[in-house]
């Protein structure tokens, strides 16, 4: 079970870092799109920093499972908020935006699996 926990933690950490870095730096299309849909630059940067912190917590959680579990649960909460944001903007009903809006749905499943495997490997 520990190997699965390590693989899921690293996978989620890489995904979280890749999603969080552009938001924290406010560079790229994603931060611009979030600002265009009503979030402030500070909110976008805070989301990016939270994603980067989750990535760090997931990696550290490989050696200290309570931190990894907390990071995975925090990431799941953040992703549930992202799903709510996409629902609010109708992204799941629009074929042009549905693909990008599905990423948080997939990632929340990975976050839950990472938390569960980390908890089971204690």
Please write the tens of the pLDDT for every residue from 74-104: 999 999 999 999 999 898 998 888 888 899 9
Please write the tens of the pLDDT for every residue from 33-69: 889 888 899 999 999 999 999 999 999 999 999 999 9
CB-CB neighbours of 6 under 10 Å: 19
Q: Is the pLDDT of residue 122 over 90?
A: no
The pLDDT assigned to 115 comes to: 95
Residue ranges covered by each domain of the chain: 2-120
């Amino acid at each position: 079970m520990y190997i699965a926990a390590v693989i899921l933690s690293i996978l989620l950490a890489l995904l979280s870092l890749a999603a969080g870095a552009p938001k924290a730096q406010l560079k790229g299309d994603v931060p611009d799109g979030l600002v265009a849909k009503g979030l402030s630059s500070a909110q976008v940067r805070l989301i990016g920093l939270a994603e980067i912190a989750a990535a760090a917590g997931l990696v550290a959680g490989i050696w200290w499972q309570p931190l990894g579990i907390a990071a995975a649960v925090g990431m799941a909460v953040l992703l549930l908020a992202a799903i709510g944001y996409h629902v609010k903007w109708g992204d799941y009903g629009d074929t042009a935006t549905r693909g990008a809006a599905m990423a948080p749905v997939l990632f929340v499943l990975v976050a839950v699996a990472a938390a569960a495997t980390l908890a089971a490997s204690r």
